[in-house]
Amino acid sequence: MYYTMGYDSPIGRLLLAERDGALTGLWMEGQKYYCDSLQGERLEKADTEVLLQAGVWLDRYFKGEKPSAGELPLAPEGSAFRREVWKLLCEIPYGEVTTYGEISKKIAAVRGLSNMSAQAVGGAVGHNPISIIIPCHRVVGTNGSLTGYAGGLEKKIKLLTLEGVDMDKLSVPARGTAL
């Protein structure tokens, strides 16, 4: 059973999901892959301990504080590779960005490989089921392109701006899959 809760944020309505005492989802209304991993029964119940903690975490985040992903019990559902990528996303410091290429190098090193596909990493980043808390918005292209974002580039820009990222070093692509 999944328990869900709505949350009104400065970037729009969010839906949070919990299962077995851990946060399993956080989606922006209208985002690509919305509720993709919610397979099974769900019940709206905004008073579970985990959902209340996640709401407080989001309150703090949107006030400009720097809560870490490690403050919440997270259980994103996905393949071992995707979970490996999502774990690395949690290591990206607040207010900083990294590239798909850098993440692919880290995955390759952990796995003892000479290289790893940045596109494969991009697929895992794009399917992150716990947006904002697992900060996929902090990943950009090697050339500073904001690339796509499942929640839409406007929201990615708002999140990065909130965190104080120097947007002058980044660019909006002319076209892409999640503009």
Please say if 35 is a catalytic residue: no
Interior angle at CA 102, CA 154 and CA 36, nearest 5: 50
Helix (H, G, I), strand (E, B) or coil at 61: helix
Give burial (CB, 10 Å; 0-12/13-18/19+) of 66: exposed
Strand order of the β-sheet with 42-44 is: 22-28, 12-19, 2-9, 42-44
Question: What CA–CA distances, in Å, run from 71 to 17, 57, 88, 106, 113?
Answer: 16, 8, 16, 23, 32
Q: Please report, for residues 88, 103, 131, 140, the alpha-carbon distance to residue 100 in angstroms, rounded to integers and kept in the order given.
A: 11, 5, 17, 7
Look up tokens 């904001």; give the residue.
146
Instruction: Considering the candidates 74, 88, 136, 159, report the single residue annotated as catalytic.
Output: 136
Active-site amino acid positions? 136
